[in-house]
Amino acid sequence: MDRIDVVPLPQVVLRRPGAFLLDGEVALVATGMAVPAAWLLHDLLRPGTGYALRILSTDDGVTRPVVLKLDLSRVAHPEGYLLDVQPDRVDLVAATVQGLGWAVQTFRQLLPSRTLRSAPVAAGPIEVGCVSVADEPRFPWRGLMLDVARHFMRKDFLLRMVDLAALHRLNVLHLHLNDDQGWRLEVPSWPRLTEAGCWRPETATGPTVALIGHDGTPHGGFYRIDDLREIVGYAAGRGLTVVPEMGIPGHTQAALSAYPELGTTSPHPVRTRWGHSPHVLAPCPEALEFIIDVLDVVTDVFPSPFVHIGGDECPRDEWRASGYARKRAAELGLPSVDSLQSWFLRAAITHLASRQRRAVGWDQVMEDGGVPGDTVVMCWRDWVPNLAAMTMAAGHDVVQCPADATYLDHYQSDHPGEPVAFPKTTTLTHTAGYDPVPPELMAVQGAGVVLGTQAHLWTEHMSNPRQVEYMAFPRLAAVAEAAWTGMDRRREHPLDARLLGYLSRLDALGVEYRPPTGPLPWQEGGSGARCRD
């Protein structure tokens, strides 16, 4: 059998007879740069097994060692690994520390689900079936985007999501840190961003397309610089890069509420309704100074080689009505005020390049003059034909994120009890059949490549972690598998055949997922503000 109950499904699996017994006599063996992976495995196993396994530098005299080793001669791919479970030993081999981390996560999934709990619930040794795994990811970018601007999420929940992402062998946590409805990043030189721009007096309730009203309750929060450094460090220890997103020049009403002089029209409060605001940055020197200062903080706090600058859904109405904007566009030699968007973006990209960072933007960055060819483009508008193909042909690397397959804020089914969500439906079955490289991309001739794909959790209708988890799981498993495993192998061993074991792990971890049979009574939208559209 070449399948094991693991998500994402590894590339090559060989079952063997027998089992390895995990008990207190087992020792973890590692040296040099493999030691952090051994400590990761130690820390992940201890709560649910009760075993504080020794970490040694040699397996001499050890009856049943678990050996973690870096060996470029055996594994070439930087995130690949070998995992070999025999009755008398376990070997985890990789080319890099990150690859060893993915071997650790796969080994965890070979154990009984109860070992993922926070304390032991059964006594005695734990059996692990013998198996050989040779594995590597399909794509280098395997992401999860969490929108913390629409609804702020506590730091402890972000750390939990890092752990859950790592279990799925995702390697990017994309944080959407600003929008019209809230600003979440501390910027010391612009203090009012977190004094005024980080909270709103109330929040819209009800479906997006049929707004019911407002809840009358203030909402807000922001991350201090040390909070973000902690999240970045925690994620790095689990193989994830945190990619920050600071969207410009649109989606900035929260910033304009704090600093009205950065805008074109009169002061505007932090937006309380959903949808994008018509109020955007003015093409003035102060706005450029603001962008540079924010990006300096971002590049100081986040070591990620990528910084996301948004660039989507920027209305031009204010610029078109502004004499100053028209004059500024003429001075800059732009064909119209519409090109001010790409002017803003190119300024940000140039600054990021001076900080040795590569810009990422939503696919609208290709409009009105475009951006430099090394900008990574996230293609999300699945209703625009051949968008990814055109973007790659223009020389841009692409992260595939079509809304119909990867936007997990959509309804999960047609069940009448589904809680309010964005008014489209994306089922687990649909996402499980998603291929980031469909046939029309195979023949694209150009410099651009598909770097990978990611899931998206836009939080207009997710005000707390329970709601986020309900919308994320189990569909996140399908996106993670699309990012890691080739389509042919996924068709051969579909996710639904492994779903029962996967959900048992979510149960052990306390994840509030949506059951395959539909929402539980307390997960339903009911007849109130969370009623289905």
* Domain CATH code at residue 155: 3.20.20.80
Of the residues 42, 151, 219, 251, only one is catalytic, namely 251
Number of domains in the chain: 2
Report in angstroms the alpha-carbon separations of 257 from 200, 270, 310, 516.
Answer: 10, 6, 19, 43
**Amino acid found at 462:** M
Q: Is residue 390 part of a domain?
A: no
Of the residues 179, 312, 368, 418, only one is catalytic, namely 179
Each residue's pLDDT, cut to its tens digit, for the chain (533 residues) gives 467 899 999 999 999 999 999 999 999 999 999 999 999 999 999 999 999 999 999 999 999 999 999 999 999 999 999 999 999 999 999 999 999 999 999 999 999 999 999 999 999 889 999 999 999 999 999 999 999 999 999 999 999 999 999 999 999 999 999 999 999 999 999 999 999 999 999 999 876 545 568 999 999 999 999 999 999 999 999 999 999 999 999 999 999 999 999 999 989 999 999 999 999 999 999 999 999 999 999 999 999 999 999 999 999 999 999 999 999 999 999 999 999 999 999 999 999 999 999 999 999 999 999 999 999 999 999 988 889 999 999 999 999 999 999 999 999 999 999 999 999 999 999 999 999 998 888 888 778 999 999 999 999 999 999 999 999 999 999 999 999 999 999 999 999 999 999 999 999 999 999 999 999 999 999 988 899 98
**Amino acid found at 367:** E
Report in angstroms the alpha-carbon separations of 112 from 14, 42, 116, 171, 346.
Answer: 19, 16, 8, 24, 51
Length of the chain: 533
Same domain, yes or no, for 116 and 202? no
Rounded CA separation 112/133 (Å): 18
Q: Is 136 a catalytic residue?
A: no
Phi, psi of 495 (to 5 degrees): -60, -35
pLDDT score at 211: 56
Same domain, yes or no, for 28 and 177? no
Indicate the DSSP class of residue 242.
E
Q: Is 214 a catalytic residue?
A: no
Same domain, yes or no, for 100 and 177? no
CB 22 within 8 A of CB 48: no
135, 167, 196 - which closes a domain:
135
Of the residues 59, 215, 293, 313, only one is catalytic, namely 313
pLDDT score at 209: 46
Indicate the DSSP class of residue 269.
P
Report in angstroms the alpha-carbon separations of 227 from 59, 157, 164, 189, 232.
Answer: 39, 12, 19, 18, 9
- DSSP letter string over 330-394? HHTT-SSGGGHHHHHHHHHHHHHHHTT-EEEEEGGGGSTT---TT-EEEE--TTSTTHHHHHHHT
Three-state secondary structure call for residue 497: helix
Three-state secondary structure call for residue 5: coil
116, 135, 154 - which closes a domain:
135
Cα 171 from chain centroid? 8
Same domain, yes or no, for 118 and 237? no
Q: Is residue 401 part of a domain?
A: no
Q: Which CATH number belongs to the domain containing residue 32 in this structure? A: 3.30.379.10
Indicate the DSSP class of residue 32.
G
Token pair belonging to 41: 């495995």
111, 135, 159 - which closes a domain:
135
Question: Which domain range does residue 509 map to?
Answer: 141-357+407-432+453-523
- DSSP letter string over 446-493? SS--EEEEEEEE--TT--SHHHHHHHHTTHHHHHHHHHHS-HHHHHHS
pLDDT score at 207: 66
pLDDT score at 213: 87
Same domain, yes or no, for 91 and 152? no
pLDDT score at 59: 95
CB 350 within 8 A of CB 358: no
Q: Is 179 a catalytic residue?
A: yes
